[in-house]
Chains A and B, each alone.
Chain A
Amino acid sequence: MVRIRVPMLPAPGELPWSASVNDTEVDIHVESNAILLDVLRDQVGTLGVKRGCDMGTCGCCSVLVDGEPRLSCLMLAHEAAGCALTTVEGLADGHHLHPIQETFTTHGGSQCGFCTPGFLVVISALLEENPEPNEAEIKAAIDGNLCRCTGYQQIVDSVRAASMIITSGKKTADATDPMPDPHPGMPTVEVESEELEVVPDE
């Protein structure tokens, strides 16, 4: 068998790269051949952008480039220079989650969560363009994202619920507020204080 290695030479020099990532100006130097996904994860530090297949199949690496969802694994970093980039970290408004982030938690839109950032980014762009998408439009929008856990129905449900929040004009709850009672309406049990065993501090 002939053994030949494809040469792995060091990349030609780094070039200045600047872009607005989640409304923060970033000025760094990146290699000429760098892929946007690598720059965002390794140099900018937005680890919400996931590397799934690295081939454009799964959509886990989706980011918004000037508001349009794009696959960061198939985009050269220098092509995105000067653009406004939004990753999943930039979707929330302060302490208020984006409606689709909130409804993903309430409707079981994510299980293992690996594909979730890609879905959230793509769906946020859909809702921005079309706040009341029908089922066919939702399915067409997430056609490029793969999820291996939930089976998509919960994701479609989450989009519908998020659409209702957006059209109602309400803001999502402050994520730092104490969680409400998870079982409202459950009868409280009266306990006599003598029945409680007090464990003394050691």
Chain B
Amino acid sequence: MRLTNDIAGQESNCSNAEAPLVDGRGIGKSFGTLMALAPLDISIGAGERVALAGPSGSGKSTLLYLLAGLVPPDRGELILDSQPVAGLQPGKELSEAVGLIQQQLDLVPQLPVIQNVLAGRLGQWGILRSLASLFSARERKSVEVVLSRLGVADKIDEPTSHLSGGEQQRVAIARLMIQAPKVLLADEPVSSLDPARAEEILRLLTGLVADTGGAMVASLHSPDLIREHFTRVIGLRHGILQFDIPARELTSTVLEALYDLDREPED
């Protein structure tokens, strides 16, 4: 009796709390002859907030796209929430595991705000329901709740192209809140924002991660924001992993070396 209990306890440990949400083993990606991301190991557990730092073209976006399952890795294996990403059902299961906010937000400008937010449900909906919702929006109540939390409830029926950059940022976050993935990915979510807004967006994102009990990976450049809002920071340069340290240990010397223009790529 005791033995069975022990085994059962171990098993639940393996599949839940202890197993990392993201487990990349030697994942890498090349585009033609360009090595966008050299093979690296990356493991991210629940509750972690990971910042990706590095100059433009360092492979941050490539890593985020790999983790989002939008681009298959050339080599290595990516395990999301204890399942190989290749085995995840592309629509439903993948969208439950990971969600991405892109650099340019990339909402559909012609659609009204509510439809862009409801797109977070597309993984759950079948063809008919998606099509029907386009003509008569479903789950309006939950969209209203999310948008009012973000302070843009009054924009719900406006065409998305009429919104300001900051408002569109909130709509993109609202879509992610509706999607509620375990791992939240954000490609330079604060690059075009003033400090106050950047602060606010990061607070919203960390709040979202705290709610879902998941993890977050975001690329950004500001050492202050990284130290304040993240638990861990990964440095990339020329597609090669430079460091993987707790965020509070990030010093300006480390960061300056990472962004140093004169340094040659090490092969």
Note whether A and B form a binding pair.
no
List chain A positions with a Cβ less than 8 A from chain B.
none
Q: Which residues of B contact A (CB under 8 A)?
A: none
